[in-house]
Structure 1
Amino acid sequence: MSEVARMEHADALYRIIARGFDQIAPAYDERYSAQANPVMAWMRAESWRILRDVLPPGGWVLEIGCGTGEDTRALARAGYRVLATDISPEMLRRARRRAMAAGCDDRIAWVAIPAGHLAALRPPEPFDGAYAGFGALNGEPNLEALAEALAALLRPGAPLILSVIHSWCLLEALRHLLHGRFQAALRGRGTRWTLIPIPGPNGERIAIPMRPLSARILKGVFMPAFRLEWAMAFPLLLPPPSMADLFCRHPILFRSLEALDRKLRARWPWRDGGDHLLMVLRRR
């Protein structure tokens, strides 16, 4: 594919993804907010702890794919200054409205922009860190452009925290094995683009093009300008947010697995078995 054709393909995907998330936005928090989904509540709490540990206190942070702004508000309340970006203007509008209601909008700036276009940003100073959480990069067709932009936007030594929908999930593989689907268990989710139906308003399902990502893909894209500090399954032994009903049916079982999850999730080979993969990289 030529460079022009690749760019045109990316722009077409951006339009489809932005329109899809604009449609999903009114119902997004009903399914995926920490208040509505117990697995997401656990993942948000873990993510916020990691962000506070890794990002420099009071720093200037670039958030990629802020959605309705749960992490944005948490960062602002913790004293960070945030430039929150998202491909969906409607998601961004809702995020800003919630931040204003929470009284933390004065620490946040907002830009509707795809991750692959971040080179167009002109911040007043380099960022002290960047964060793209909960699958924000799984709909990005031009990760190379994003990596190049981040290399220019971040200070040397600044952290980059990514959490993406992973290409292989241990619990999904076990479920396939229980049903005799051995090839599916080994194959996992793959890394090809596919249409993912996401619940929208009034029970309708909006198809969004996305692709699972692997550690190999991310390291190949980001490692020239960044070095990997550590990676972990996120989560490993708890069900994915889409299977929150399973968590609700067996809360004692999964709560008992939390300590084991924390013990194993950053170790090989377990770190490659999560619903999401969380990676901490650092600008060289």
Structure 2
Amino acid sequence: MQASNFDLSTYLQRIGHTGPAAADTATLQAIMRQQLFTVPFENLDVQAGKIVSLVPEDIADKILRQGRGGYCYEVNGLFAMALQALGIPYRFVSARPMFYPARRPRTHMAVIAEVEGRRWLCDLGFGSYGIRAPMDLGAVGVDIAQDSDTFQLTLDERGEYLLKAKVEGEWANQYAFDLSPQEWIDFVPANYLNSTHPEAIFVQKLLVVLHQSSGRVILLDDMLKTVKNGQVEKKQLAREEIGEVLNRLFGLATAVQQ
């Protein structure tokens, strides 16, 4: 994944990474965490009636220079640009969201990175119960604690992985995927669906998520949800408060001004 206007040093500055940057596991883990803590998952363009651009240069400009975030294709696409620049092999995979009551198509994108002889699930764009660090694909059936969250990967006889998250003490399916590599162009139909279809959650509702070391902050329409060390607080916002919250909590002043 390359963009002519992507620069690794600009990316590292954008996410606040000041440590070593090499093709190793420590860097992979560090930059995923830093990007999660600085680049929000957000669907403001969709809410404004726009079709999200998958042109790599548009993604790099939006996140690195406009101070914006994005949804899965954008934030994972940007992460893939960084992996490419670092020399870390990776592939895109398509994933089927599994928390809906009815079966859905594979509209989610995740990244599988390969470094130091291990394969890692990396995902910076799954919203409320997304993973918070790379997950080793070899650790199947093992409870993985990430800050106050717990995740697990299972693998069936067909080679399909299932990501689960502990939600209020119970395992909840998040998404399923296999390791078939996908080209960037393969996500164009799913992106169009998520940007335009009236049943798509991104069309129906404003959704902004920013991870923090202690949890995450979530804005769903006018409901602000703060998760800190496993404790949840909710606050209903007045319409006139939303812009200020987007600016103060998510750093989206540029989007608010547009």
Bigger proportion of residues as strand: 2
Normalising by the residue count of structure 2, what TM-score does the alignment of the two structures yield?
Answer: 0.30
Normalised by the length of structure 1, the TM-score is 0.28
